[in-house]
Amino acid sequence: MSIKTSGLHHVTAIGGDPQRNADFYLRTLGLRLVKTTVNFDDPGTYHLYYGDSSGKPGSLMTFFPWPDAPSGRRGTGQATTTSFSVPEASIGWWKRHLAASGVETGEIRNADDEDTLTFRDPDGLQLALVAHPQGDPRDPWDTQLVPAEHAIRGLHSVTLSVNKEDATAGMLTDGLGLGFAHQESNRLRFAAGDGGPGALVDVLVTPDAPRGLVAAGTVHHVAWRAPDEETQKTWREELVDKGVHVTSILDRQYFRSIYFREPGGTLLEVATDEPGFAVDEPLLELGRALKLPPWLEPRREEIEHMLPKLNLPTENNPELS
């Protein structure tokens, strides 16, 4: 079997203040908090997972919010734009909604039949909403501020910025099984499976642009889907055979992960679809309580003491209403 991811699993970025981060992604963007946990490698820091109504792979944007994190710098060797998929008829609604929420946006641009609206999160992370003509049947979260009719369907794509494309393109095709879709000046698009929202990556080639610096307001890594652990294990062996430096398989509680860097500099991950977010709490209650993996549970009291308090919107925490 050779490596063939079906699309994006999640994007993980670094944020600043956790309350400001949660307010933006839950209230302004209307995503669901599908897991409140900690950074397993740094348990004094939250790891917040935002997604669709059930936290399906491909809908997930996750953050390590450090209250005093220094600002990063966008540049090559990074995923410089994270795009979310919205219904085609909703892009104008989003422009008005973001303006009413005090978020500055660009103009709606049309390229490749897609309407795109760009803006930044409170830490300066570059985001976009994209309406794809193919439509997006995924199951959104419904909130008072962002009704399901207009809501984000999941990830649309990421843009990887590189100084040169060849080795990065090689990693996307040979290392992840994506196909080259098309090129528009210095932007090359690759697609997993049949393409469509959630299965796309753009490679933006800027030979002289400076390297980025990963800190607050930048993407930490981009994760791709593997269906299960057995497949992931096979893919890992294939990557090792290709000479890629891959980590061992790590238990992330909601999925298993391997990490490696694409030659242009961006950290990539392959994450399993299984077991998902309902493994340690009921689907209806996702995100409301702080969940810790079994190996950190003995330190719960200490960890809860270290973490700043979070006030969640009522959709995510009815007890606070």
Binding site residues, Zn ion, CB under 5 A: 12, 223, 269
CB of 221 to Zn ion, least distance (A): 5
CB of 51 to Zn ion, least distance (A): 13
Between residues 86 and 158, which has the closer beta carbon with respect to Zn ion?
158
CB of 219 to Zn ion, least distance (A): 11
d(CA 212, CA 222): 15
Between residues 12 and 36, which has the closer beta carbon with respect to Zn ion?
12
Between residues 60 and 205, which has the closer beta carbon with respect to Zn ion?
60
CB of 257 to Zn ion, least distance (A): 6
Between residues 55 and 313, which has the closer beta carbon with respect to Zn ion?
55
Between residues 136 and 269, which has the closer beta carbon with respect to Zn ion?
269
Tokens of residue 48, six digits: 């917040």
d(CA 22, CA 16): 10
CB of 259 to Zn ion, least distance (A): 8
DSSP 270-312: EEES-S-GGGSS-GGGTTSSB---TTTGGGHHHHHHHSPP-PP
Closest CA to 204 of 109, 60, 77: 77
Beta bridge partners of 290: 36
Closest CA to 252 of 65, 57, 41, 54: 41
CB of 15 to Zn ion, least distance (A): 14
Tokens of residue 195, six digits: 């393409």
Cβ atoms of 106 and 117 closer than 8 Å: yes
Between residues 202 and 269, which has the closer beta carbon with respect to Zn ion?
269
Q: Provide the b/e sequence for 287-313 (b: ≥16 CB within 10 Å).
A: bbeebbeeebeeeeeebeeeeeebebb
